[in-house]
Amino acid sequence: ILLLAPWEEFFLATAKDLPIGKAPVPSVDPDTKKKVERALSNVEMKNKEAAYQAWVGYYNSNKKVGKDKYRLVELANEFSRCMGLDSPPAIPKLVLGKMGLTNIPGLRSK
């Protein structure tokens, strides 16, 4: 099984030689959703912060997703909400500078 977010579907065009078929997105079972939320609440904040920063770095380097920095930040902040965070974690200013993301609205720096 290959799970792709909507903004990752471009990958399918790069793998035309593989027998990959699309399947409809199933509805989420409410009980399963609660279990996932409970599990995420047990993940340490430092791990969520590291995951957020890694997510931003990975997709920032992706030519399809990272070229629109504002959209990148929208998606990153959606990812942080999916981890159960009320606000996105701050990223060191030096790191944001190296990623070319200084002064992009929606990103927090420390």
Confidence of residue 88 (pLDDT cuts 50, 70, 90): very high
pLDDT for the residue 47: 98
Confidence of residue 57 (pLDDT cuts 50, 70, 90): very high
Domain locations along the chain: 43-110
Question: Cα–Cα distances in Å, from 43 out to 4, 36, 66, 73?
Answer: 23, 11, 27, 22
Secondary structure (DSSP) of 63-97: TTTTTSHHHHHHHHHHHHHHTT-SSPPEE-HHHHH
pTM for the whole structure: 0.86
